[in-house]
Amino acid sequence: MIPPGIVNFNDAQSIEWVLGGIQAGKGYVCTLTGTDTNGDPCMGTSSSFEILPGQVSGATVNVTCTVPTDAAAAADVNLGSVGFDASVSLTHQGAFGCPGISSFSISPSEVTGAQPAQLNLSEVGPTGLAPDGGPSASDILWTATCGTPPCGTFSPSANAANPTFTCGPVPTLQVVTVTAKLTNYETSISTGVTSDVCAGQPLTTMTATITCEGASGNCDCIGNPATPNSCAGNGGCSCVNFQTDPSHCGNCTTVCSGGTPDCISGICAPLGE
């Protein structure tokens, strides 16, 4: 590196000088810095040059002095802004499409012993969908209530569309109820309470009665107060009224005939008495 030095340009537009005593080699660069008479900064750097032994090499430095200015130019800005005025409107969601029961049957509705009753259900719906796409499914629930528990059971489950029903061991009337309810949307939008929003809608519930004659297989005839007495026969049983039935007057075997064809208070009597 060559120690720095000072060269006075004065008013000259260019200046030449020869600097000696430089070790021969390549990759030398000459940098000139200074100020003009107004104190403006000046600077220039030559391209790379080579020093050859016993020769004077040539190099050129272009010195530029920067003169301050008070001129101004607008910024080149390509970005802008936008103001928003947002309004809010409320709209009502479409009503839930509720399921409905189109048919309901029990066969037979009077059973003896462990004889099962076949329950059949056809369900319609949901008939309409809310704006968000639901509901899309419903659920079936069978329940049984009875005056003398334990009540009967459903097979394969109480959620099957067509299960069988088996009575409990005690002769009693079983009230069987089937309900079609929603499963996808069980929270009321208006109240926020988790429940079946279709509860209470028409055709979502049906009820029927099954007469259970007892697990022992006896015919107890509990279903109809008009025929409270039972008589076995023909591989089954008959429900009769011992008080008024001429074919079973007072018991299963007494038949009123001849001059006493009528049955009054369990006793054969003449007709019209």
Which residues are bridge partners to 246 per DSSP? none
| For residue 118, pLDDT beyond 90 | yes
Which residues are bridge partners to 194 per DSSP? 187
Convert the pLDDT of each residue in 5-23 to its tens digit: 676 666 666 778 788 888 8
All residues at 6 or more sequence positions from 157 whose CB lies less than 8 Å from its CB, including other chains: 163
Percent with pLDDT over 90 in the chain: 15
Pairwise CA distance, residues 142 & 149, whole Å: 17
Q: Which two tokens stand for residue 22?
A: 């430089």
- Residues composing the chain: 273
DSSP-assigned letters across all residues of 153-175: EEES-TT-SS-EEE--SS-EEEE
Q: Which two tokens stand for residue 189?
A: 């939008």
Convert the pLDDT of each residue in 195-242 to its tens digit: 677 778 888 889 998 888 765 555 666 656 777 777 765 445 677 889
DSSP helix/strand/coil, 203: coil
Q: What distances in angstroms separate CA 257 from CA 115, 240, 244, 270, one per listed residue?
A: 37, 17, 14, 9
Q: Which two tokens stand for residue 262?
A: 């009528």
- pLDDT bucket at 145, cuts 50 / 70 / 90: very high
All residues at 6 or more sequence positions from 51 whose CB lies less than 8 Å from its CB, including other chains: 22, 23, 24, 25, 26, 28, 57
Spatial contact of 233 and 240, defined as CB atoms under 8 Å apart: no
Residue 267 pLDDT: 93
Convert the pLDDT of each residue in 37-80 to its tens digit: 778 888 889 889 888 888 888 888 888 888 888 788 888 788 88
Q: What pTM was estimated for this model as a whole?
A: 0.48
